[in-house]
Amino acid sequence: MPICSFCKKHYKEPRGLTVFTFDGRSIHFCSSKCKRNLDLKRDPKKVNWIKREKKVKKVEIKAEKSSETKKVEVKAAEKKIDEKKIDEKKEKEVEKKEEKLVKKE
């Protein structure tokens, strides 16, 4: 099923118009209305009769992404804390070894 180049609507093959350009591209139109509007160089976003996606979906996607980034930030912070603990343990071990060497001398 082709997609209209102007309104992005799926339509069945026998309907509509297909234009082939010299560079080999094919431009599909579901109706002559879409073809005229594209010929007049109208912006599909500004035409009232084209159905648009709801903005709610985009907001939900952004919210999901932000929660994912928060999770990543939390994990990074946890890794930093773990690295600090490991460094502290190593320092304590080194100090203990130095004390043992001092006692032996």
Q: For the whole model, what pTM was predicted? A: 0.44
Distances (CA, A) of 86 to 2, 53, 72, 80, 90: 59, 51, 21, 10, 6
Tens digit of pLDDT per residue, the chain (105 long)? 888 888 888 888 778 888 898 999 888 988 888 888 888 787 777 777 776 655 555 555 555 556 666 666 667 777 777 777 777 888 888 888 888 777 776
What are the extents of the domains in the chain? 17-104
